[in-house]
Structure 1
Amino acid sequence: MLKTRIILFISAAVLVAIIFTLPKVVVDNEENAVPNKTTSGTSHAEPTPTEIDTDNIAHGQAVPADIQKKIDNLKIDYSNSSNIEKSVIFADSLAELYLSINKYDSAAKFVEIIAENIPNEKNWERAGNTYYDAFGFAMDPQKRAYLGEKAREYFLKVMEKTPSNLDVKNKLAMTYLSTSNPMKGIGMLREIIEQDPKNEKAMFNLGVLSMQSNQYNKAVEHFSKLVKTYPNNTQAQFFLGVSYLETGNKDKAKEQFELVKTLDDDPEVQATADSYLEDIR
């Protein structure tokens, strides 16, 4: 019930649902780990074939007929394109069409085409971000692992060029959570906090991971620090309330859920906060 309500509250952050399906890891115990090595292939017009067909990763809705027609026509144009410049233009149009209907997995394949044919930091980050979004929506473990690996491949390229890109490092860290070495991701989040003690995303991610491993006292610590600096972070305020409730501090939990109701008037948020307040009463 707890996970269901959390997922309903963070309807846009599907990665939270994935985090709660991962094996529990102890966030306090950081282990030494060897970085995953990812090698990139040579530039080409098509993505490297894999055993995972990401076109079959459904996100819950059919493609509208008018959009499908545009996609079909663009795929024909792409197949018939005579040079890389035209291929990239058609690939970009296809990616944007797929993104418009939340088909992140399909979009990622075409963004990858751009990144492989025009290899630069901007395109690598775009490819990583698109695969990361697809990773966030994939519920099948095998597909999630594949998409996380692809996101990691491009994020690592960005980090080699710009190690100071903490936004990318945050996402890179989260991709390790679906691998056999989740502690590497946790270690990276801690590195971010060392570099930037007020990094909102890293604080949030560490808080959620503490919840996932049932370390609610630690979660209270992370989220309390976060909301002190970012009081309008509704997700953090909500999770702080859940963490207080799980530690038995109902008074503080009640305060948090009432605060959440003042921060966001979205009906789903209101209903979720009310459901917790009902339990407390």
Structure 2
Amino acid sequence: MLKSRIILIVIAIALIAVFFSLPKVVVDNENESIDKGSEAPALDSSSEQQASTSADEIMSESHSGKIPEEIRQDIVRLRNSYELAKNQENSAIFADSLASVYRNLNRLDSAAKYVELSKEDNELIGNAYYEAFSFAADVDKAKRLAVKTREYLQKVLNGDPANNSAKIKLAMTYVSSDNPMQGISMLLEVVEEDPNNEEALFNLGILSIQSGQYSKAIERFEKLLLHHPDNIQAEFYLALSLMNNGQKVKARKLFTEIKNKSNDEQLLAAVESYLNEL
């Protein structure tokens, strides 16, 4: 389900912080051009190499919060079993179990590493690294996770150029890099081929908010909701765009509607905060 896929990067307050840290870019769909104050050079192979790291290094970086002793013991047991496994099938089973444990702990980089060790599906691995990339609070770690995401999702696109879901995720790793224009171009390619693509319209709307193009953001989210009316995250960002565009009456009405139908505590907290400002 598409909603469950995109929610990984759109949970209320957390996403606001993530996307407002992206490079300031201007998306002009009508002229199919992208303007930036100073155009950044494309990443070359050497800069990609500098940003990359082994998955082991990514996984071993510190996390906030302490793992409960019982779960820590499970991890130790599963790691030992993985290392002592006598064949690939058993190794994959233990790695898959470790991926589940780490995902339940929200240690998504570690989870992605063990997905990589347990699966052969490039898209599944790429999506796991993309999820970790989406929530990475550390800039350097995010860069390295983006490289891992691109490593696998590019393979997916090479085999299936029409896979827009992989293309959108790949695009978003570039949008938050030193080469955002490449990512935005990829998103525009998707909406040119599939004008009502929910994920592409959502991300373009977010990027329009980030660059202060609130009218464009309104246009994106209204089009998205016309074809995907149940996307409450899009409603939230439409309301936010209306508020910032001076349409406060419409914004208040929409925020109130969201408040009355959502049970998401984080989303409701964000809605209440903005209603207090209006």
TM-score, with length taken from structure 1: 0.82
8 Å contact kept, 1:170–1:201: yes
Hey, what does 1:270 align to over in structure 2? Answer: 268
Q: In the TM superposition, what is the alpha-carbon distance from 1:131 to its structure 2 partner?
A: 0.8
Superposition pairs of residues 8-27 of structure 1, within 5 angstroms: 11=11, 14-27=14-27
RMSD across aligned C-alpha pairs, in angstroms? 2.5
**Which amino acid in the other structure matches residue 95 of structure 1?**
A
Q: Distance in 2 between matches of 1:61 and 1:187?
A: 38
- Cα deviation 1:108-153 (Å, max 9, x = unaligned): 11111234xx4xxxx2111111111111121111110000110111
Hey, what does 2:7 align to over in structure 1? Answer: none
Hey, what does 2:257 align to over in structure 1? Answer: 259
Q: Distance in 2 between matches of 1:63 and 1:94?
A: 14
Hey, what does 2:237 align to over in structure 1? Answer: 239
8 Å contact kept, 1:55–1:105: no
Structure 1 unaligned spans of 5+: 1-9, 39-47
Check if 1:212 corresponds to 2:216. Answer: no
**Which amino acid in the other structure matches residue 61 of structure 2?**
N
Check if 1:70 corresponds to 2:68. Answer: no
Q: In the TM superposition, what is the alpha-carbon distance from 1:190 to its structure 2 partner?
A: 1.0
Q: Distance in 2 between matches of 1:248 and 1:238?
A: 16
Q: In the TM superposition, what is the alpha-carbon distance from 1:86 to its structure 2 partner?
A: 2.2
8 Å contact kept, 2:13–2:270: no
Equivalent in 161, 164, 171 of residue 163 of structure 1? 161
Structure 1 pair 102/268, CA: closer, same or farther in 2 (3 Å)? closer
User: What SS class does the counterpart of residue 189 from structure 2 fall into?
Assistant: helix
Equivalent in 94, 98, 112 of residue 94 of structure 1? 98
Structure 1 pair 76/268, CA: closer, same or farther in 2 (3 Å)? closer
Structure 1 pair 26/65, CA: closer, same or farther in 2 (3 Å)? same
8 Å contact kept, 1:234–1:263: no
Q: In the TM superposition, what is the alpha-carbon distance from 1:259 to its structure 2 partner?
A: 2.0
Q: Distance in 2 between matches of 1:188 and 1:14?
A: 24
8 Å contact kept, 1:14–1:136: no
8 Å contact kept, 2:12–2:233: no
8 Å contact kept, 2:202–2:224: yes
Q: In the TM superposition, what is the alpha-carbon distance from 1:278 to its structure 2 partner?
A: 2.7
Structure 1 pair 165/238, CA: closer, same or farther in 2 (3 Å)? same
Superposition pairs of residues 1-281 of structure 1, within 5 angstroms: 11=11, 14-28=14-28, 29-30=33-34, 49=54, 52-58=57-63, 60-115=64-119, 118=120, 123-280=121-278
- Cα deviation 1:4-58 (Å, max 9, x = unaligned): xxxxxx54684543221122111223379979779xxxxxxxxx84694433242
Structure 2 unaligned spans of 5+: 1-9, 47-52
User: What SS class does the counterpart of residue 21 from structure 1 fall into?
Assistant: coil
Q: Distance in 2 between matches of 1:176 and 1:86?
A: 36
Hey, what does 1:7 align to over in structure 2? Answer: none
Structure 1 pair 171/16, CA: closer, same or farther in 2 (3 Å)? farther
TM-score, with length taken from structure 2: 0.83
**Which amino acid in the other structure matches residue 112 of structure 1?**
E
Identity rate, percent: 44
The worse-fitting range, judged by mean Cα deviation, of 49-58 and 239-248 is: 49-58
8 Å contact kept, 1:104–1:133: yes
The worse-fitting range, judged by mean Cα deviation, of 49-58 and 195-204 is: 49-58
Hey, what does 2:4 align to over in structure 1? Answer: none
Hey, what does 1:6 align to over in structure 2? Answer: none
User: What SS class does the counterpart of residue 92 from structure 1 fall into?
Assistant: helix
Number of residue pairs the alignment of both structures matches? 255
User: What SS class does the counterpart of residue 24 from structure 2 fall into?
Assistant: coil
8 Å contact kept, 2:202–2:234: yes
Q: Distance in 2 between matches of 1:143 and 1:266?
A: 28
